[in-house]
């Protein structure tokens, strides 16, 4: 277990390195780091009210959670209702179908394990997209960042011992594999960040383009230089990674792995970063009002680049964990759609890290349970895609849900995307 | 003089918005050929009432009648039909269209059913222009006309649609004093030809100068209707606010000390990349207020943005507190002791979705005691918020409501509290009281003078000449990107400043 904790710390370390790298690269103005302490003009120490309620009381957290979860919850319920109608229309029994779905997702230890397996990349990638949203950026490129993260993790996993000429202990090999994978994602996402910050090129267009480049590079590598050379192999995939680069399952006999625990930890860390640190404050300020951020002395351009790098880091981590903890290799097409589902997950989770975890588990459960549903009722798994699309529709166009259930708008709104160069 | 017939009457109008009773059983009438001023602070319900008359809102109860006939107004089309025309504060004109095109927009005259008949429109506009001495050229490109003329285009537009009742919403806000005087002449001309005018404003002097009757609104209700002869500024202000108001800013003469800001031949470009500030030079000493008077759009915004580090400088230098700060970004400028009350408070001064407490540390969040080693300290932010909310009398239910829930005046107080709470040597205040109620204006003016008396230098930019004259020790007049002249406030007169603002040369 220590191995995984260290592995995770290694990933964070390397990710931090990536961020520092970009900070140096992008930092034209003065840093936002610690400055000499300037006391308030009054000169007297600030009074500390004894009974002043602090910012996050238990009650306020619960209240805000219920408040912000209302629309997503109703969106899911409405989508499931409509999905049931669709199932009935095509001649199925919606109750049997949903029973199968729930059984397949939560009905047994194995079902729960598989739901966790599905949820893991969803959590990482969902966090990636959510962080970008917080910074006012729409990262559609999680898919490509994730694929390249997986490619690098696989390369380090199978090739590094050979290059070095000796076997690595797991305690070094695992952190290197996932850390460099995450770094690759960060680098890849930082490019559209740069283009956005310094040329005004819109990140929506550029991340889509970067997806094509990333997926074609991956395809080339899987079919060429990195193709598994074993004589029986006809699939575009890398060789299996070394034992020393593999993250173990949580329990013997189940596929759910330590990556799931890491995902939960990262969600907590991202929440802390966004809510409790000055860097998070800067990300949120740039995301909410870039003009005010500039006025407040924030280097807006650098913050945009760093936000994209952080987003890509998380997407890269999603890919690297899939390789080191689940598949033990990278295979062309394994990750198809994680990066895109992540957009729906981030929106459903209202870009709140804990909301993302819940949404990711929900999506994971639906994907996982769909197989059993199909097996039991002959209803095609595509119904699940319809339900997920409906959820996304209702969350993105929350006016529909607010209209149906007569809920007033309140709180922070997610900025999906701004105008060109905005 | 016999009482003229009532042409427009609103009876018992009530309009409820969620949480606000915007119009509470309001009665209002307009007589044939009169100018009826509607006076009140922001949020008093003036605009709601006019939007009811113009058909943009449907009242919850009440009745609107024109010429004694009750009418039902569903949309602006109905009110145009009924002869009501509205000139909005922000013009509804398309800059690249000609005047005639703008006027026919939405009411196009056609030949053969589909060809625009520009000629007849041009002819009709010429006639109207002549008839009411408006001096509007129908073939000019609208965007190239001065603001005062664009406003007349709006008036012609209403007359073209046969409006007999004109609603003018804060028409003088965008005009120089001279342009405002011209507008008043036109308003008189219009009424002498049978047009009736509702004149919405919050400027007391104008109301007394031009109106036949004055209706004052406060808190959604009509406080009273008076004639200019029976009242004065102080009485009107008291009606608007509901208590006695000190209209003049009480201040001792300034004791300026050392130079705090020196600006030498500063050149700045606007967002289009065209030079808009052409070599401006001035200096401000500690303990004095330098006012920059000028009609909006003469480079004041860009000058302030350059001084505060938001806009890059293309020529010239500036020294702040003895240091060359030319082209420095906002953070070092703030840290040297510059406070900036920005022109557009919602765009630059606040993050509307953030809580009040966070907005109070918007540019100090990263340093002790609010941020230590990159971690925010909620206790310090909370204590700071509670102290400033108390000290600056910010009306908010809690430090943690989003700042967008606050009224405009309280939003501005949040900015003022934040900016004046750190080590300040210079305050740059751009339109610090625009759109605020009388009470908040009073408060902010007092704060500025208190800071001045503490030895802080103040640069005040305002389009309100009264504000400039009330607060400044020296007044610089800005016209087309240059400072035309700088005078001692004690010797300046409104008329003279107005002429300079309009481009007159100081030696003439």
With contacts defined as CB-CB under 8 Å, which chain B residues touch A54?
Answer: 378-379, 382
Residue of B450, B391, B444 whose CA lies nearest to B424: B450
Nearest residue on chain B to A275, judged by CA atoms? B376
Tokens of A161: 């011992």
Q: What is the pLDDT of residues A152-171, one digit of tens each?
A: 999 999 998 889 888 889 88
Using an 8 Å CB-CB cutoff, list residues of chain A that contact chain B: 29-30, 32-35, 37-38, 40-42, 46-49, 52, 54-56, 276-281, 284-285, 288-289, 291-299, 411-413
Specify whether the CB–CB gap between B478 and B485 falls below 8 A: no
CA distances (Å), B122 to each of A403, B136, B149, in order? 48, 10, 16
Residues A71, A77: Cα–Cα separation, whole Å: 10
How many structural domains is chain A composed of? Answer: 1
Q: What's the confidence (pLDDT) of residue A41? A: 36
Tokens of B108: 């196009």
Q: What's the confidence (pLDDT) of residue A58? A: 60
Q: What is the pLDDT of residues A212-231, one digit of tens each?
A: 999 999 999 998 888 888 88
CB contact under 8 A, B330 and A296: yes
Residues A343, A128: Cα–Cα separation, whole Å: 9
Specify whether the CB–CB gap between B84 and B66 falls below 8 A: yes
Task: Give the model's confidence band at A32: pLDDT under 50 very low, under 70 low, under 90 confident, else very high.
Answer: very low
Tens digits of pLDDT across chain B (508 residues): 456 788 888 888 898 876 678 888 899 989 998 999 998 877 678 888 888 888 778 888 888 888 888 888 777 788 888 888 888 877 888 888 888 888 888 776 666 666 777 888 888 888 888 888 788 888 888 888 877 888 889 888 888 888 889 999 888 877 777 788 888 998 998 899 889 999 988 778 888 889 999 999 888 888 889 998 888 888 888 888 777 666 677 777 777 888 899 999 999 988 878 888 998 999 999 999 999 998 877 888 899 999 999 998 999 999 998 899 898 999 999 999 999 999 888 889 999 999 999 999 999 999 888 989 999 999 999 999 999 998 888 888 889 989 988 877 788 889 999 998 888 999 999 988 876 777 778 888 988 999 999 999 999 998 888 889 889 999 999 988 889 999 998 888 888 888 888 777 776 5
Quickly list DSSP for A224-262. TTTS---TT--SSBPPPPPGGGPPPBSSTT---BHHHHH
Q: What's the confidence (pLDDT) of residue A33? A: 36
Most confident option among A17-26, A189-198, A336-345, B51-60: A189-198
Q: Which of A28, A46, A285 to mutate to test the interface with B (most CBs of B within 10 A)?
A: A46
* Predicted structure pTM score: 0.75
Q: What's the confidence (pLDDT) of residue B149? A: 85
- Identify the residue whose tokens are 């009935």: A88
Evaluate whether residue A78 is within a structural domain: no
Specify whether the CB–CB gap between A402 and A395 falls below 8 A: no
Q: Where are the domains of chain B?
A: 6-241, 255-337+423-508, 347-422
Q: What's the confidence (pLDDT) of residue A49? A: 37
B484 three-class SS: strand
Residues 6+ away with beta carbon under 8 Å from B156 = B99, B103, B125, B128, B129, B134, B136
With contacts defined as CB-CB under 8 Å, which chain B residues touch A55?
Answer: 357, 378, 381-382, 400
Evaluate whether residue A5 is within a structural domain: no
Task: Give the model's confidence band at A287: pLDDT under 50 very low, under 70 low, under 90 confident, else very high.
Answer: very high
Q: What's the confidence (pLDDT) of residue A4? A: 52
Q: What's the confidence (pLDDT) of residue A309? A: 96
Q: What's the confidence (pLDDT) of residue A67? A: 62
Evaluate whether residue A255 is within a structural domain: yes
Q: What's the confidence (pLDDT) of residue B430? A: 92
List all residues of chain B from 406 to 435 with a beta carbon under 8 Å from chain A. 420-424
Q: What's the confidence (pLDDT) of residue B350? A: 93
Residue of B318, B350, B348 whose CA lies nearest to B333: B318
Residues A275, B195: Cα–Cα separation, whole Å: 60
Q: H-helix or E-strand containing B265?
A: strand B259-269
Residues B398, B386: Cα–Cα separation, whole Å: 9
Q: What's the confidence (pLDDT) of residue A162? A: 86
Strand partners for B479: B482
With contacts defined as CB-CB under 8 Å, which chain A residues touch B378?
Answer: 54-56
Q: What's the confidence (pLDDT) of residue A68? A: 66
User: Distance between terminal CA atoms of chain B?
Assistant: 44
Residues 6+ away with beta carbon under 8 Å from A262 = A4, A8, A321
Residues A383, A86: Cα–Cα separation, whole Å: 8
Query: What are the start-end ranges of the H helices in A58-202?
Result: 58-89, 94-106, 109-134, 142-164, 170-199
Residues A22, A417: Cα–Cα separation, whole Å: 23
Instruction: Tell me: pLDDT of A178 over 90.
Output: yes
Q: What's the confidence (pLDDT) of residue A62? A: 62
Q: What's the confidence (pLDDT) of residue A29? A: 35
Task: Give the model's confidence band at A45: pLDDT under 50 very low, under 70 low, under 90 confident, else very high.
Answer: very low
Specify whether the CB–CB gap between A11 and A315 falls below 8 A: no
Name the more confident of A293 and A391: A293
Select the CATH number that applies to the domain covering B255-337+423-508 from these four: 3.40.1350.10, 3.10.20.440, 1.10.4160.10, 3.40.50.300: 3.40.50.300
Say how many C-beta atoms besides its own lie within 10 A of residue A43's C-beta.
7
Q: Which domain holds residue A130?
A: 121-351
Angle at CA of residue A266, ends A262 and A269, nearest 5°: 140
With contacts defined as CB-CB under 8 Å, which chain A residues touch B369?
Answer: 46
Nearest residue on chain B to A55, judged by CA atoms? B378
Residues B121, A303: Cα–Cα separation, whole Å: 54
Specify whether the CB–CB gap between B66 and B29 falls below 8 A: no
Residues 6+ away with beta carbon under 8 Å from B191 = B33, B34, B35, B197
Half-sphere exposure of B130 (CA within 13 A, CB side): 6
Evaluate whether residue A152 is within a structural domain: yes
CA distances (Å), B74 to each of A70, B49, B60, B157, B323, in order? 36, 14, 13, 21, 62
Mean of per-residue pLDDT scores for chain A: 82
Specify whether the CB–CB gap between B369 and B351 falls below 8 A: no
Tokens of B122: 């041009």
Give CATH for domain B6-241.
Answer: 3.40.50.300
- Identify the residue whose tokens are 């009398």: B393
Residues B275, A119: Cα–Cα separation, whole Å: 56
Specify whether the CB–CB gap between B320 and B490 falls below 8 A: no
List all residues of chain B from 332 to 351 with a beta carbon under 8 Å from chain A. 332, 334-335, 340, 342, 347-351
Residues A358, A1: Cα–Cα separation, whole Å: 25
Say how many C-beta atoms besides its own lie within 10 A of residue A315's C-beta.
38
Nearest to B353 among A29, A298, A412 (CB): A412
Evaluate whether residue A218 is within a structural domain: yes
């Amino acid at each position: 277990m220590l191995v995984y904790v260290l592995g995770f710390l290694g990933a964070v370390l390397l990710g931090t390195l990536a961020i520092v790298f970009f900070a140096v690269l992008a930092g034209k103005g003065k840093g936002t780091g610690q400055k000499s302490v300037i006391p308030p003009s009054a000169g007297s120490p600030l009074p500390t009210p004894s009974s002043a309620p602090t910012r996050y009381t238990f009650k306020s957290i619960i209240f805000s959670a219920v408040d912000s979860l209302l629309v997503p919850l109703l969106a899911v319920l409405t989508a499931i209702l409509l999905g049931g109608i669709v199932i009935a229309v095509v001649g199925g029994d919606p109750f049997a179908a949903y029973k199968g779905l729930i059984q397949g997702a939560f009905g047994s230890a194995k079902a729960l394990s598989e739901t966790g397996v599905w949820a893991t990349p969803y959590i990482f990638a969902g966090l990636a997209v959510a962080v970008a949203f917080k910074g006012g950026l729409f990262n559609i490129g999680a898919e490509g960042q994730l694929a390249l993260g997986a490619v690098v993790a696989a390369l380090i996993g199978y090739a590094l011992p050979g290059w070095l000429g000796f076997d690595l202990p797991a305690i070094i090999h695992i952190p290197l594999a996932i850390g460099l994978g995450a770094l690759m994602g960060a680098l890849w996402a930082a490019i559209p960040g740069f283009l956005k910050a310094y040329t005004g090129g819109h990140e929506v267009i550029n991340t889509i383009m970067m997806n094509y480049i990333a997926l074609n590079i991956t395809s080339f590598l899987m079919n060429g230089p990195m193709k598994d050379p074993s004589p029986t192999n006809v699939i575009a995939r890398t060789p299996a990674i070394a034992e020393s680069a593999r993250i173990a399952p949580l329990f013997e006999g189940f596929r759910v792995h330590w990556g799931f625990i890491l995902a939960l930890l990262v969600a907590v860390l991202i929440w802390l970063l966004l809510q409790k640190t000055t860097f998070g404050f800067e990300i949120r300020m740039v995301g909410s009002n870039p003009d005010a951020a500039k006025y407040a002395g924030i280097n807006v351009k650098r913050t945009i680049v760093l936000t994209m790098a952080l987003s890509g880091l998380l997407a890269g981590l999603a890919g690297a964990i899939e390789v080191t903890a689940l598949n033990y290799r990278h295979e062309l097409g394994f990750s198809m759609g994680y990066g895109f589902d992540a957009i729906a997950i981030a929106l459903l989770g209202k870009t709140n890290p804990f909301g993302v975890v819940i949404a990711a588990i929900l999506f994971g459960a639906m994907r996982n349970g769909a197989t059993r549903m199909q097996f039991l009722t002959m209803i095609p798994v595509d119904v699940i895609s319809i339900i997920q699309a409906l959820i996304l529709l209702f969350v993105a166009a929350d006016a529909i849900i607010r209209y149906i259930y007569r809920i007033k708008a309140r709180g922070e709104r997610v900025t999906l995307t701004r105008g060109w160069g905005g | 003089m016999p009482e003229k017939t009532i042409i427009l009457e609103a009876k018992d109008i009530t309009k409820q918005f969620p949480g606000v009773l915007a119009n509470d059983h309001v009665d209002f009438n307009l007589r044939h050929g009169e100018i009826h001023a509607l006076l009140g602070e922001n949020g008093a319900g003036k605009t709601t009432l006019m939007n009811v008359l113009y058909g943009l809102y449907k009242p919850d109860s009440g009745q609107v009648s024109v010429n004694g006939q009750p009418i039902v107004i569903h949309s602006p089309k109905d009110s145009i039909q009924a002869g009501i025309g509205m000139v909005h504060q922000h013009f509804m004109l398309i800059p690249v269209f000609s005047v005639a095109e703008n006027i026919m927009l939405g009411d196009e005259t056609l030949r053969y059913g589909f060809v625009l008949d520009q000629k007849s429109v041009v002819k009709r506009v010429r006639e109207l222009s002549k008839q009411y001495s408006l001096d509007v050229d129908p073939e000019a490109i609208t965007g190239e006309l001065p603001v005062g003329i664009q406003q007349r285009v709006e008036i012609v537009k209403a007359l073209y649609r046969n409006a007999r009742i004109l609603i003018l919403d804060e028409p003088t806000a965008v005009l120089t004093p001279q342009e405002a005087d011209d507008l008043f002449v036109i308003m008189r001309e219009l009424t002498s030809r049978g047009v009736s005018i509702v004149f919405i404003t919050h400027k007391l002097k104008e109301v007394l100068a031009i109106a036949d009757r004055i209706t004052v609104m406060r808190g959604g209700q009509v406080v009273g209707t008076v004639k200019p002869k029976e009242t004065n500024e102080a009485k009107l202000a008291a009606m608007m606010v509901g208590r006695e108001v000190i209209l003049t800013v009480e201040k001792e003469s300034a004791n300026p000390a050392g130079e705090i800001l020196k600006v030498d031949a500063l050149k700045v470009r606007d967002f289009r990349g065209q030079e808009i500030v052409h070599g401006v030079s001035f200096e401000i000493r500690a303990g004095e207020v330098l006012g920059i008077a000028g009609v909006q759009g003469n480079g004041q915004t860009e000058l302030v943005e350059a001084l505060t580090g938001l806009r890059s400088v293309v020529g010239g230098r500036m020294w702040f507190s003895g240091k060359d700060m030319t082209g420095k970004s906002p953070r070092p400028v703030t840290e040297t002791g510059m406070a900036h009350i920005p022109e557009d408070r919602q765009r630059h001064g606040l993050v509307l979705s953030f809580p009040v407490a966070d907005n109070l540390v918007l540019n100090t969040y990263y340093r002790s005691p609010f941020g230590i080693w990159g971690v925010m300290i909620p206790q310090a932010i909370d204590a700071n918020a509670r102290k400033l909310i108390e000290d600056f009398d910010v009306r908010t239910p809690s430090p943690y409501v989003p700042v967008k829930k606050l009224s405009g005046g309280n939003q501005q107080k949040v900015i003022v509290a934040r900016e004046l709470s750190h080590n300040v040597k210079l305050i740059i205040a751009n339109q610090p009281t625009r759109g605020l109620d009388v009470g908040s204006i009073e408060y902010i003016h007092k704060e500025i003078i208190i800071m001045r008396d503490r030895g802080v230098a103040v640069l005040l930019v305002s389009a309100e000449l009264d504000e400039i004259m009330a607060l400044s020790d020296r007044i610089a007049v800005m016209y087309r990107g240059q400072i035309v002249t700088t005078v001692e406030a004690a010797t300046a007169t409104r008329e003279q400043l107005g002429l300079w603002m309009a481009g007159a040369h100081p030696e003439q």
